[in-house]
């Protein structure tokens, strides 16, 4: 149990405790988090389905390496020479992270279904 003596000193009476400033910061942080956490959770609950729906409808985004052009400036002193982007093989497209996650989950689900179907046939 933490025991604070009623003194005029700024440090707590028990050795190893935080100074009052740190305790105040912890209290402030807890208060802010307590007020913001429900809103953050609500925003997350809205944002995640909207993002996944967007990933379902538009699975590809612009490649981050070339900005969607499919071309990158050739290295060295070749002036305005371009080469195809190695990241997207010149397509300019990149699978979104959410769509990658959806594809992995669907593949996992289908593999599990196949496994279950095979087991039912054997029984
Ligand atoms: Zn690219």
Confidence bin at 7 (pLDDT 50/70/90): low
How remote is the CA of residue 75 from the centroid of ligand 1, in Å? 15
How remote is the CA of residue 121 from the centroid of ligand 1, in Å? 46
Instruction: Give bridge partners of residue 94 from the DSSP assignment.
Output: 61
Q: What is the pLDDT of residues 28-69, one digit of tens each?
A: 888 888 888 889 999 999 999 999 999 999 999 999 999 999
| Calculated CA dihedral for residues 40, 103, 66, 75, nearest 10 degrees | 120
How remote is the CA of residue 79 from the centroid of ligand 1, in Å? 20
Average pLDDT of span 76-83: 78
Residue with tokens 């190695």: 86
Q: Is the pTM of this model over 0.75?
A: no
66-72, long-range: CB within 8 Å, 24+ apart, which pairs? Answer: 66/92, 67/92, 68/92, 68/93
Q: Which two tokens stand for residue 78?
A: 């070749």
More confident of the two residues 7 and 50: 50
């Amino acid at each position: 149990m933490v025991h604070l003596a009623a003194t005029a000193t700024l440090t707590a009476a028990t050795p190893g405790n935080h100074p009052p400033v740190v305790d105040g910061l912890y209290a402030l942080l807890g208060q802010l988090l307590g007020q913001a956490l429900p809103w953050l959770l609500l925003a997350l609950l809205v944002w995640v389905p909207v993002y996944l729906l967007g990933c379902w409808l538009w699975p590809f985004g612009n490649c981050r390496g070339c900005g969607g052009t499919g071309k990158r400036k050739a290295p060295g002193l070749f002036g305005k020479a371009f080469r195809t982007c190695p990241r997207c093989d010149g397509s300019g497209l990149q699978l979104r992270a959410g769509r990658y996650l959806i594809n992995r989950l669907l593949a996992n689900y289908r593999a599990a279904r196949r496994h279950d179907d095979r087991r039912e046939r054997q029984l």
